[in-house]
Homo-oligomer: A and B are copies of this chain.
Amino acid sequence: MGTAAEPTQHAAVAELPPLELALLQRYWDAANYLTVAQIYLQENALLAEPLRVEHIKPRLLGHWGTSPGLSMIYLHLNRLIRRTSAEVIFLAGPGHGGPAVVANTYLEGTYSEIYPLVSQDQAGLRRLIRQFSTPGGIPSHVGPATPGSIHEGGELGYSLMHATGAVMDNPDLIAACVIGDGEAETGPLEGSWKAPAFLNPERDGAVLPILHLNGYKISGATVLGRRTDDDVCALLRAHGWEPVVVSGTEPALVHAALAAALETAYAEIRRIQLTARRHGAHGPARWPAIVFRTPKGWTGPRIVDGNQVEGTFRAHQVPLAGVRDNPAHLAQLEAWLRSYHPEELFDVDGRLQPELAALAPSGEARMGATPSSRGGRSTLPLPLRPLENYEVPIGSPGATLVETTHPLGELLRDLYIDTAADPRFRLFCPDETNSNRLGAVFEVTDRLMMEPGQDVGDRISQDGRVVEVLSEHLCQGWLEGYILTGRHGLFATYEAFAMVSASMTVQHAKWLQHARELPWRKPVPSLNILLTSTCWRNDHNGFSHQGPGLIDTVLSLSGSVIRVYLPPDSNCLLAAAEHALLSQNYVNLLVVDKQAHPQYLTLEQARAHAAAGASIWKWAGNDDGGRNPDVVLACAGDVPTEEILAAAWLLQIYVPELRVRVVNVMDALVLPPGDVHPHGLSDEAFEALFTTDVDVVVAWHGYARAFHQLLHGRPDPGRFHVRGYTEQGTTTTPFDMVVQNKMSRYHLALAALERLQKPFAGAEKLAGHCNGMLDRHSTYIREHLEDMPEISSWLWSPPNLWQATSCSYHLEAADIFERRMILNSPPAGNPS
């Protein structure tokens, strides 16, 4: 780059033919008129009669301030599309400007096509104004119901990342992204400016950022709004963009400047793409950007009650308040509305004048109707190879150690191969792909980075499609933009730091929940989040790296759109991942550790287990099914499964008369009743697993509270004794973590013993053994700095091969430890 010293470019004020300028101005008037009408009016939509109190809505809600600027930009993008046939989607970062975007999609005709009752006539206009911010109507924000939108703009910060994700592998698309100077203050948005380092003009479309500076947020000034054009341009230039400034308060001049700026930007985008596609890309492109500085509440009331309004914070929401009680305000509102001359914009039937209607593009070229904004290519299936290709062979269950995520990496690798001709899958990860043992993808693709650098074997290139950036926000936001335009992906991240973008997950789930109710929106591929490096195996990173809270956050959301899987092993992970990658309209949370763990189920068994969501693992217990067990041991998650199995193993060796049942839960949402979540087991199925009255000792991956709440509505939930993660703080050997959280095999076995309804031979001996091991543990690990060999070498083997002696156990069969086998050790030099 090195061009930060360039002078600020102001857009050339090209001549616009007077007739075109007049038409553009009138179209803008129409958009502004409808915006104000939506905020204020419930009747008399076109001011056919003098404005009276009863025409005013009883509650005035909505945001005027950003709206005229949004409409100006929308209008000129329309002009560009008509002149170039470009495919453009529009992202309104200031989602508060909902009425402006609704007005523009109404004027271009898409709104009425989707919502026939909001027709392009008097009756439709009445509906248009009455529905805004009223009960049963539409919210004041851009949202799923807004034609053309893939971005709500309620929680600020994500507009530019959504735009960037939308154009990845979308070579012809231009994402015009309006960023308010309020949103520009957020961290996630500031982080998004680095997009040029991750957009390859050979294969990706273009983002056109339009930084809309109007100086104020709700009531305070904005940092960028107060900076000079030079400073703002220097910032964008330093991030790799080539900005041009369009500013002014005189509409005619701004029309001309914005038209010129968009034409120039478009030409530059196509030049960059053409050059790259002919000659290859060489480093990041200097994509054009526009700095658009116009007054807040432009064309609205200048002075109200003696206070300056236009151009200040007072224009943010409803500039004239109390209109029903204040005749002066009512008169001022009428004058404001009439300043747009609605009678010249719409005919007596309420239809936009034809010479204005002709200014909008037609068909799918309209920004309210672009296919990319309605689900894009999402009907194109993802070519997953049969899972048998990746199956971990299972001799006897629990006897082999495999890095559980490793086979999934191979599946993703083949997905890259099989979508190479029509790229529509990407893996996003904050620099942990190798650490998460998904590194097989680097056999066929690289990490993406447009910035040039020396090759030191780091698998980095501008052709890579693994997107690693140390920002959970960017990883998730880019993926959201990618899937909302119909492509597929996976966000793999450390469990503890998944909370960084938890609010984005909440907002995306809300978006899906609404969007799936809209038949005109195609379903979109699910947001797949893989959490690895979980709280149970942060051996040295310690307390700050332990946090299973995203499970709780996701469980709060609507059952219609969320899924939570805790696969106990690789084959189960494959089954869950297949389902997730092929699903639509969900947030799929997959929680599994990356380290070497025991493997239990064959692929066939895993598929059946995944379909059921929870199963009795008969081989792990001695409950014959014909009668009730004495105790049920339940588990969910990989480490909890291992500990429950070891507890079941101890119980069977020491207390052979005890009937133990082991239940593994891999789909957390089978637990609540069916009216809470569609996966909820029927009463019969639930009771077949957990009985109606037997005590259940549960080893659960997350916070115990999350499991308890899932059981609400099930018979006698008080009999479930849940051990989960608690905030302890520890630096540990792997096993020390489960000891400190009282979820070790010894604690679980003791908990099971406590729950027995009658005395059993061997129970006391087992309790002594467990307490003895727990006593020895702390001293041993401090001396030896690793776990006791009884722990670190233990693997499942049939309990009937063993016999208990006094506080110990002896193997009767051959040395089963020899069967231990670890596959997939981590690549050298790629530490976790």
Chain B residue contacts of A458, Cβ below 8 A:
216, 219-221, 312-313
A727 touches B553 (CB 8 A): no
Chain B residue contacts of A319, Cβ below 8 A:
829
Q: How far is the CA of A226 from the CA of B221 in the complex (A)?
A: 35
Which of B2, B238, B709 meets A235, CB within 8 Å? B238
* Nearest CB on B from A516, distance (A): 11
Say yes or no: is A230 at the interface (Cβ < 8 Å to chain B): yes
Q: How far is the CA of A304 from the CA of B314 in the complex (A)?
A: 64
* Nearest CB on B from A184, distance (A): 8
Say yes or no: is A187 at the interface (Cβ < 8 Å to chain B): yes
Say yes or no: is A188 at the interface (Cβ < 8 Å to chain B): yes
Chain B residue contacts of A736, Cβ below 8 A:
135
B221 touches A453 (CB 8 A): yes
Chain B residue contacts of A473, Cβ below 8 A:
186-187
Q: How far is the CA of A432 from the CA of B786 in the complex (A)?
A: 52
* Nearest CB on B from A579, distance (A): 23
A223-B451, A234-B234, A453-B221 in contact; A187/B189 too (CB < 8 A)? yes
Q: Which residue of B lies closest to A781 (CB)?
A: B135
Pick the interface stretch among A395-403, A500-508, A585-593, A634-642: A500-508
Number of residues in A with C-beta < 8 Å to the partner? 147
Which of B235, B553, B832 meets A499, CB within 8 Å? B553
Chain B residue contacts of A191, Cβ below 8 A:
185-191
A434 touches B235 (CB 8 A): no
Chain B residue contacts of A784, Cβ below 8 A:
58
Chain B residue contacts of A197, Cβ below 8 A:
223, 226
B540 touches A139 (CB 8 A): yes
A441-484 vs B, CB cutoff 8 Å, 1 = contact: the mask equals 00000010101110011101000000011111110000000000
Q: How far is the CA of A500 from the CA of B189 in the complex (A)?
A: 13
A59-B786, A191-B190, A556-B549 in contact; A227/B451 too (CB < 8 A)? yes
* Nearest CB on B from A72, distance (A): 22
Say yes or no: is A125 at the interface (Cβ < 8 Å to chain B): no
B135 touches A732 (CB 8 A): yes
Q: Which residue of B lies closest to A228 (CB)?
A: B2
A61 touches B552 (CB 8 A): no
* Nearest CB on B from A824, distance (A): 15
Chain B residue contacts of A829, Cβ below 8 A:
304, 307, 309, 313-314, 319, 321
B135 touches A226 (CB 8 A): no
Chain B residue contacts of A228, Cβ below 8 A:
1-2
Q: How far is the CA of A541 from the CA of B59 in the complex (A)?
A: 13
* Nearest CB on B from A276, distance (A): 19
Pick the interface stretch among A152-160, A201-209, A658-666, A815-823: A152-160
Say yes or no: is A379 at the interface (Cβ < 8 Å to chain B): no
Say yes or no: is A76 at the interface (Cβ < 8 Å to chain B): no
Chain B residue contacts of A555, Cβ below 8 A:
705
Q: Which residue of B lies closest to A470 (CB)?
A: B185
B502 touches A503 (CB 8 A): yes
Q: How far is the CA of A823 from the CA of B509 in the complex (A)?
A: 38
Q: How far is the CA of A152 from the CA of B545 in the complex (A)?
A: 11
B705 touches A709 (CB 8 A): yes
Chain B residue contacts of A59, Cβ below 8 A:
539-540, 733, 785-786
Say yes or no: is A747 at the interface (Cβ < 8 Å to chain B): no
Chain B residue contacts of A726, Cβ below 8 A:
558
Say yes or no: is A643 at the interface (Cβ < 8 Å to chain B): no
Q: How far is the CA of A321 from the CA of B222 in the complex (A)?
A: 50
A223 touches B194 (CB 8 A): yes
A191-B185, A729-B513 in contact; A4/B230 too (CB < 8 A)? yes
Q: How far is the CA of A658 from the CA of B136 in the complex (A)?
A: 36
Chain B residue contacts of A137, Cβ below 8 A:
731
A470 touches B156 (CB 8 A): yes
B541 touches A781 (CB 8 A): no
Chain B residue contacts of A557, Cβ below 8 A:
727
B831 touches A317 (CB 8 A): yes
Say yes or no: is A496 at the interface (Cβ < 8 Å to chain B): yes
Say yes or no: is A544 at the interface (Cβ < 8 Å to chain B): yes
Chain B residue contacts of A35, Cβ below 8 A:
none
Chain B residue contacts of A268, Cβ below 8 A:
none
* Nearest CB on B from A554, distance (A): 10
Q: Which 5 pairs of residues, A with B, have the shortest CB-CB distance? A: A139-B542, A317-B831, A187-B191, A154-B544, A4-B234
Given contacts A59-B539, A187-B192, A218-B432, 16 further A-B contacts (CB under 8 A): A1-B228, A59-B785, A130-B785, A134-B782, A140-B731, A143-B544, A185-B470, A187-B189, A218-B435, A219-B433, A221-B449, A311-B456, A316-B831, A502-B549, A553-B553, A706-B709
